[in-house]
Amino acid sequence: MKGKIFVITGPSGVGKGTIVKEILKKVQNLYLSISATTREKREGEEEGVHYFFKTKDQFKKMIDSDEFLEWAEFAGDCYGTPKFPVNNYLSCGKDVLLEIELQGAKQIKEKCPDSILIFLAPPTFEALEERLIKRQTESIDKVKIRLTKAKQEMKEVKLFHYLVVNDKLNEAIDNVQGIIVAERCKIDNCV
């Protein structure tokens, strides 16, 4: 049986990375797709663990060679999901989890219509703003860009199969885990 693609999307600062980290501890036979990016490496991030860090020229060559399932430009940096590892895991019957931006999720929905799309939302816009400022990983100008983008992203929640509000972290983790388990148990998966 071929694996499934699970996509987790939501505004920057909503807790996607934290939830994904916990899901990977709790759910077996689930592979996290590592994205490529042109953004600068943040403190504590490792090549091939958090991202594949690429120059803009390297990234463009990958686009030109059709090496991405999806890619998007966001806040001046590019992000993309390399095809090869995802397709390899799917063909081996393993499910793949993609933690990507809205633009990429739309591309996945179009190219991989059987994928399961989960939108992770903050309890309030103010809570999201507070989270972005507190993490102190970007300039105020970049935070403002992310907040403007977040308002646009929140308007597109109906494109997704599931909505999970990250108000209480453990509850949000349980909800995402429940979605994955339920999707794996669908009758059409066995036919």
pLDDT tens string 42-91: 889 999 988 999 999 999 999 999 999 999 887 789 999 999 999 999 99
Cβ neighbours for 42, distance < 8 A, ≥ 6 positions apart: 137
Residue range of the domain that includes 109: 5-189
Residue 135 CB coordination number (10 Å): 12
CATH of the domain at 144: 3.40.50.300
Q: What's the rounded Cα separation, in Å, for the pair 1 and 108? A: 20
| Section 104-108 average pLDDT | 93
Is residue 81 within 8 A of residue 35, CB to CB? The reply is yes
* pLDDT(25) > 50: yes
Contact assessment for residue 150 and residue 128, using Cβ atoms and an 8 Å cutoff: yes
One-letter amino acid at 123 equals P
Tokens of 163: 């909505």
Residue 42 is predicted with a pLDDT of 86
- pLDDT for 139-181, tens place per residue? 778 777 778 888 888 889 999 999 999 999 999 999 999 999 9
Alpha helices in 36-124 (DSSP H): 56-64, 83-91, 102-111
Q: How many domains does the chain have?
A: 1
What Å distances lie between residue 120 and 12, 67, 70, CA to CA?
10, 27, 19
